[in-house]
Amino acid sequence: MIGLSGIEIQAGGFRVGPVDLELQDGEYGVLLGPSGAGKSLVLEAVAGVRRVAAGAIRVDDEDVTALTPERRHVGLVFQDGLLFPHLSVAGNVAYGLRRAGVAGRAARAAEVERLADAVGATALLKRKPATLSGGERQRVAVARALAARPRALLLDEPLSAVDAEAREGLQELLRRVSHEQGLSVLHVTHDRAEASALADTCAVLVGGRLLQTGPPREILMAPADEAVARFVGARNVLHGVRDESDAHAVRLPAGAALRVAPALPAGAADLVVRPEDVKLWRAGQGPPGAAQVLSGTVVGLSLQGGFALVRVEVPDALDALIPARDADALGLTLGAAVDVGVPAGAVHVLPTP
C-alpha cells in the first residue's frame, strides 16, 4: 500500500502539491501529467531521495516520511532502466539480494535465475547493459527492483524509451507483476494511452497541482476542469451560456446551441465534448428527428494514424475524430458541408469553479 497525505515538495522555485493519493496492495496507480508537471518529484519523494516540505508518506501503513531510501523497501525503475553499466545483467539483478536476506551464493544465483525467468530475461544474464535494447533493459530493471523484495514499485516513465512492439509486452509484464505479487505500483507518465491501458487509478498532475484522481475512464469522460480535459485529449472545450428558456441547452459564442443531459442553472456553462463522440454525415443525411444534428462546414482535415481529425464549424469550431475509412467514404474535403451529430449524453458539463 502507498499512501500520500498532503505531500508538498519544493524544488527551487517550483512547488508541487499538496498531493493526496492512496493505492491499495495490487493496485496500479498512474500519475499522469505533461512534462514539467512535477510527477518525477513526487516519485522521488516516495522513494526517499527527495525531502518533502509537508505531508506524510506511508508504505504498508508504516510512516516512511523520515526514513532513508534503503529503509523504505520500495523499488525504483527509471525511463532508461539505468542498469549499472559496470555489472552484467546477472550482477544487476543480484545487487539487492544480499540486503533482501538471500544468503549464500548458490541461493542468490538461483534467485537471479528465477527473477530473470519471471521477466523473460533468462537469455540476457551474461550480457552487459550496453548491449541490450530499451525493452530488454526495462525487463532487467524490473527484475532488479523485485529482487530487493519491495513493498511497492515506483516507475518513472518506464516505457518512454521503448519501441511500440516491446511496449505492449512490458505493459503486460508490469500489470502481471503488480497483480500477482500484490504490489502497489505508482507509475509516472505523460502518455494518456499508457495511463488508460495500465491504470486502476489515475491521478492527473498539471503545473504541480493534483487536479483529479479516479479510474482512467472517469477522467477521460468526466474531467474535473479545463486543464484536465485538454490534457486527456478532449479537444472540444466550449464556453457558453445556458439558454434562457431551456435548462438543457447551451448557447455557444458563435451562435450554435448544444443540448446537454442534465438541467443546468442559468448563467455560464463550460462544456467538454470528446472528438470521438462527434458524428459526421453528408449534408442532409443526418438521422432525421435526431435531437442534436447541426449543419457544419469542414475547415480542417488531418490524418492521425488510422483516423481522421476533422474540424467543422457549426459555426463554433468542433473537432471530430472518425476512422479514416469513414472520412474517405464521406468524401470529406475542405469547405464540404456536413451534418454534425453531438449526442446530449456525450456532452460533459464542467463543474462550476
* Contact flags string 53-92 toward another protein, x per CB under 8 A: ---------------xxx-x-xxx-x---x-xxx------
Nearer to another protein among residue 44 and residue 277 (C-beta): 44
Residue 324 interacts with another protein (CB under 8 A)?
no
The nearest distance, CB 74 to another protein, in angstroms, is 6
Neighbours of 142 (CB within 10 A): 25
Residue 47 interacts with another protein (CB under 8 A)?
yes
The nearest distance, CB 133 to another protein, in angstroms, is 15
- Closest Cα to residue 4, out of 158, 201, 231, 278? 201
Q: What size, in residues, is the chain?
A: 353
The rounded distance, in Å, linking the Cα atoms of 152 and 178 is 9
Residue 312 interacts with another protein (CB under 8 A)?
no
Sign of CA dihedral 220, 225, 231, 236: positive
The nearest distance, CB 141 to another protein, in angstroms, is 8
Q: Residues 6 or more apart from 208 whose CB is under 8 A from it?
A: 14, 15, 16, 17, 37, 38
Whose cell is 459555426? That residue is: 315
Nearer to another protein among residue 187 and residue 274 (C-beta): 187
Residue 131 interacts with another protein (CB under 8 A)?
no
Binding residue for another protein, selected from 29, 33, 129, 150, defined by CB under 8 A: 150
The nearest distance, CB 41 to another protein, in angstroms, is 13
For residue 3, list its beta bridge partners: 22, 58
Residue 99 interacts with another protein (CB under 8 A)?
yes
The CA-based diameter of the chain, rounded to the nearest angstrom, is 80
Nearer to another protein among residue 96 and residue 208 (C-beta): 96
The nearest distance, CB 47 to another protein, in angstroms, is 6
Residue 44 interacts with another protein (CB under 8 A)?
yes
- Closest Cα to residue 27, out of 220, 224, 213, 221? 213
Nearer to another protein among residue 83 and residue 238 (C-beta): 83
The rounded distance, in Å, linking the Cα atoms of 3 and 259 is 41
Binding residue for another protein, selected from 1, 37, 148, 206, defined by CB under 8 A: 148
Q: Residues 6 or more apart from 343 whose CB is under 8 A from it?
A: 277, 279, 291, 292
Q: What count of Cα atoms within 13 Å lies in the side-chain half-sphere of residue 56?
A: 9
Nearer to another protein among residue 129 and residue 286 (C-beta): 129
Structure-block grid coordinates of residue 307: 483516423
- Closest Cα to residue 293, out of 328, 338, 232, 253? 338
For residue 282, list its beta bridge partners: 338
> Any idea what DSSP says for residue 139?
H
The nearest distance, CB 161 to another protein, in angstroms, is 14
Nearer to another protein among residue 10 and residue 297 (C-beta): 10
Neighbours of 9 (CB within 10 A): 22
Binding residue for another protein, selected from 95, 142, 195, 227, defined by CB under 8 A: 95
Binding residue for another protein, selected from 3, 17, 48, 286, defined by CB under 8 A: 48
- Closest Cα to residue 137, out of 89, 185, 188? 89
Residue 145 interacts with another protein (CB under 8 A)?
yes
**Whole-Å CA distances, 337 to 183, 204, 248, 313:** 54, 38, 27, 10
Nearer to another protein among residue 92 and residue 212 (C-beta): 92
Binding residue for another protein, selected from 3, 29, 38, 96, defined by CB under 8 A: 96
Nearer to another protein among residue 148 and residue 229 (C-beta): 148
- Binding piece for another protein, criterion CB under 8 A, among 147-155, 235-243, 306-314, 334-342: 147-155
- Binding residues for another protein, rule CB under 8 A, total 27
Which residues contribute to the site for another protein (CB under 8 A)? 44, 47-49, 68-70, 72, 74-76, 78, 82, 84-86, 95-96, 98-100, 144-145, 147-148, 150, 154
